[in-house]
Amino acid sequence: MKNVDVNPIIEICAVNKSYEGRPVLADINLAIRPGELICVIGASGCGKSTLLNLIGGFVKADRGEIRLNGRLVEKPCRQCIMVFQEFDQLFTWQTVRHNIEFPLKNAPERLSHQEIRSRADHYLAMVKLTDFGDYYPNQLSGGMKQRTALARALALSPQLLLMDEPFGSLDAQTKKELQETLLEIRQETRATTVFVTHDIREALYLADRIVVLKAGAVAAVIKNQTRNTDETRVAEITALLSP
Amino acid sequence: MKIKAIFLKPYAKYIWIILMLVAWEVTAKLAPVSPLAFPSLELILAALIDSVINGDILMQMAFSLGLILIGLGIGVVLAFLMSFLSVVSPVFASFTDTCVSIFHPLPGIALLPLIILWIGTGSMAILFVIVHSVLWPMILNMTAGFKAIPEVYKKIGMNYEFNTLQSIIRIFVPASLSFLIAGLKISWARGWRAAISAEMIFGASGGIGGIGWYIFNKRVFMDTAGVYAGILMIIAVGIFVEDVVFGKLEKNTIKKWGVA
């Protein structure tokens, strides 16, 4: 099944993780190819956030290893940016535009003022917030905050985007709009994305492949070329998730 | 109803002040009080204007404010260093905690006899008292602010490959600004009290003395109106710093960001 002519961007080999003696993830193996959008799905407490934190280098595996472009992941890095569920991930003291410019201003490679501005403009437009650049986060709706967070992550052109239930706290309508925006962005940037969710329909709508986690192990990896979100597909995955 | 509305406005403070001044004047004029203990507003105002014109009170005030500013600066820098080290090292954090619980409740004035033994009387001693008054409440607020930083901010700092100092300066400090401003307000108030008290005790030997010394001096020469003029200056500066300096600072930062 492995696509031999494309090297995986992420390789997860026999990864184990436990907290205080309680195993959270057991023997996880997964390869993610460049440009893929992977959804990791599972009940709460199944270890999906832990998996994302392991890939991002925020926590260390007990055993096994994770490689990003062949290099061992040991700590968080700018090539691999995380978008969180929390609305307060935005910097309250900066406007939307300055939030997006923040990682660029503090980049090790010195970017010119104009370069930073034009990149911010570009990503503001991409998340449809062009008119809201001068707003402070406390003036924004939840959906707009998450759009800003997405733009801030994209501004660094990371090789890998990690998304930890970013739309989990949004109402259904806003969620739908953000999902569409995410798919449009993907068309444009081809950013490799690992997206954690517990919403089966969301996974079916977004993912190229769906990784089903159950009790800390990969229960199934499902190809999802059709992006078909009808009830039979939902039932299929629900069956995989139920004990 | 109209009158009630007036007293709900932010300027209500000034209406009360005017009422108090009127009450003062009526008492001074009509009650059988000695003008030595209870001078009328004209006398106080005359003393104040006289002192402003000959520059004495302004110079003394500038001297005191200058000392406070230097003390605040030193205190804030030291507090930042100790808070920074406390973030880096849990061992140092427990040391800081211990220092705060020992020294925070200790008024600077209580240390004055010792300070006089160590560094004598004068500006340096006053500065020492101010730094002591500023340092501990500032550390208390800074460390509390840093502890209240949301976990996501720390993760974002790691994600951008910031080292601890970069994370603190670029994320922690602005994120905990409401704590830092609160700390600054407490520090200012304490430093100000400590400075004036210390000046009253030995202002003369170090330079020009300061506003505390000014008041003390006026009392020595039984110039009660002059004492009140000095007190009025202290109140005016206090209101100015609270309303204008900190008010502006808050309006342009935490109130604007909606985190106050």
Listed range (A229-238, B86-95, B146-155) with the worst mean pLDDT: A229-238
> Is B29's pLDDT higher than 70?
yes
> Is B165's pLDDT higher than 70?
yes
Does residue B245 belong to any structural domain of this protein? no
Q: State percent of chain A over pLDDT 70.
A: 98
Q: Is the ipTM of this complex over 0.95?
A: no
Does residue B165 belong to any structural domain of this protein? yes
pLDDT band at B207 (very low <50, low <70, confident <90, very high): low
Rounded to whole angstroms, the Cα distance separating A203 from A165 reads: 11
> Is B204's pLDDT higher than 80?
no
Which residues does chain B have within 8 Å of residue A93's beta carbon, measured at their own beta carbons?
174-175, 177, 253, 257, 259
Average pLDDT on A91-106 reads: 95
> Is A229's pLDDT higher than 60?
yes
Please tell me the predicted confidence (pLDDT) of residue B9.
Answer: 82
Q: What are phi and psi of B36, to 5 degrees?
A: -70, -35
Q: Is B171 in the A-facing interface, judged by CB distances under 8 Å?
A: yes
Q: Do B161 and A92 touch (CB under 8 A)?
A: no
- Tens-digit pLDDT profile for residues A130-179: 999 999 999 999 999 999 999 999 999 999 999 999 999 899 999 999 99
Q: Do A75 and B159 touch (CB under 8 A)?
A: no
Retrieve residue A89's tokens: 């991930």
Does residue B26 belong to any structural domain of this protein? no
The range of the structural domain enclosing residue B103 comes to: 57-233
Which residues does chain B have within 8 Å of residue A138's beta carbon, measured at their own beta carbons?
257-259
Q: State the angle between helix axes of B211-220 and B224-239 in degrees (0 to 180), rounded to the nearest 10.
A: 160
Please tell me the predicted confidence (pLDDT) of residue A3.
Answer: 47
Average pLDDT on B183-197 reads: 92
Q: Which of A75, A81, A89 best probes binding to B when mutated, by most B CB atoms within 10 angstroms?
A: A89
Does residue B190 belong to any structural domain of this protein? yes
Alpha carbon of A222 to those of A38, A42, A215: distances in Å? 10, 13, 17
Q: Is A142 in the B-facing interface, judged by CB distances under 8 Å?
A: no
A181: nearest Cα among A230, A242, A128: A128
Q: Do B170 and A103 touch (CB under 8 A)?
A: no
CATH number, domain with residue B74: 1.10.3720.10
Count the domains in chain B. 1
Does residue B51 belong to any structural domain of this protein? no
B100: nearest Cα among B67, B144, B130, B69: B144
Does residue B158 belong to any structural domain of this protein? yes
pLDDT band at B233 (very low <50, low <70, confident <90, very high): very high
Which residues does chain A have within 8 Å of residue B161's beta carbon, measured at their own beta carbons?
76-78, 108
> Is A4's pLDDT higher than 60?
no
Q: Is B152 in the A-facing interface, judged by CB distances under 8 Å?
A: yes
pLDDT band at B1 (very low <50, low <70, confident <90, very high): low
> Is A241's pLDDT higher than 90?
no
pLDDT band at A5 (very low <50, low <70, confident <90, very high): low
pLDDT band at A2 (very low <50, low <70, confident <90, very high): very low
pTM over 0.90: no
Q: What is the DSSP letter of B148?
A: T
